[in-house]
Amino acid sequence: MEQTLLTILGISVIVAIPTSMIVLSIEAGRPNLKKLFSDPSMLIRYFLVMFILIPALALLCFIVDPGHQTVWIAVIVISLTPASPGMLKNVTKLGGDFNMCIAWMITAIFLSLIMLPINLFTISQILNINIDLGIDDVTLKLFLMFILPLLAGFLIKRYLPALAPSIGKALDLISKIASVVLMICLLIIAVPVVINNDITEILLISLFLIISLSISHFMELPEKKYGPILSYSVILRLPAPAFVLASINGKAKIYAPEIFTFLILGLILMAVYGKIFYRKKASKS
């Protein structure tokens, strides 16, 4: 039963990510990068927070609190993954700039292709441990599941404009079904373990998320007019790549409870955050 669930989970990941990326790029039509790259200060700060400061914070937690290594390795892994496409809808609902959000998400995915292997290697060297997440395999999977589908979506939108809406709807349905299957498998695997977990682990992950959100909120204040793009990118990570990373050496079940906890707590935290800081803006839009 357990092996069957892990197999289904792996298949659903392979289906859910590429289809969601194609749908995203079809909806965007084009990368909209000009606006983002015209503000290098914003781009640098977003890069530093997403790919340097937050992974460094997770690494620091691992070093300071070696008694909860499973928790912090899981947090490190998910802190290296791209943002969830769902953050686009959340930011837009709060009055954020959709085009800027699309531009940053696409840029972040391309940066992930470079920074994830670099961060994995750096972390393994600093800790002097073999995380054994297969950097070559991870890079290939990032390209196949993120970059290639994004390019495919842009090409569909450009060269098959009449068919693009129908293709997008079909793939969106497939992506949603695969995502639901993924979450069901994740729930079955993780919930029993989460229930039996020490409350301390939940509190540790909550503290990490709150500190990460505080850093993100402060660093994106100059671009508040665009909405909480960075904050949602940092907290609402895409869980599927984390399972890809963990499953390479058969550790998906070990880290599933912590990844699931990170995901749920992140959703709750950002729901509260949005109401506190962006409620008026959302009601106007």
Domain boundaries in the chain? 2-280
Give the pLDDT score at 155: 93
Residues 32 and 27: their CA atoms lie apart, in Å, by 12
User: Does residue 43 contact residue 36 with C-beta atoms inside 8 Å?
Assistant: yes
Helix axis angle, 239-247 to 69-79, nearest 10°: 120
Task: Report which of 152, 113, 156 is spatially closest to residue 136, judged by C-alpha positions.
Answer: 113
Closest residue by Cα to residue 101 from 152, 155, 28:
28
| Number of neighbouring beta carbons within 10 Å of residue 160 | 12
In sequence order, what are the beta bridge partners of 237? Answer: 83
Q: Which residues of the chain have pLDDT under 50?
A: 283, 285
- For domain 2-280, the CATH architecture is Up-down Bundle (1.20)
Instruction: Give the C-alpha separation, 135 to 122, whole Å.
Output: 11
Helix (H, G, I), strand (E, B) or coil at 238: coil
What confidence score (pLDDT) does residue 272 get?
92
Q: What is the pLDDT of residue 283?
A: 47
- Residue-wise pLDDT for 210-263, tens only, equals 999 999 999 998 888 888 999 999 999 876 666 666 655 556 666 777 887 888
pLDDT score recorded for residue 45: 94
The pLDDT of residue 208 is 96
If you search the block for the tokens 């994106």, which residue do you land on? 220
Rg (CA), the chain: 18
Distance CA 261, CA 162 (A): 42
Q: Please tell me the distance from the alpha carbon of residue 127 to that of residue 96, in angstroms, as a whole number.
A: 39
pLDDT at 250: 58
Query: Which long-range contacts does 215-221 make (Cβ < 8 Å, 24+ apart)?
Result: 215/49, 215/53, 215/54, 215/57, 216/49, 216/54, 217/273, 217/277, 219/45, 219/46, 219/48, 219/49, 220/42, 220/45, 220/46, 220/49
CA dist 268 and 129 (Å) reads 33
Q: How many CA atoms lie within 13 A of 45 on its CB side?
A: 17
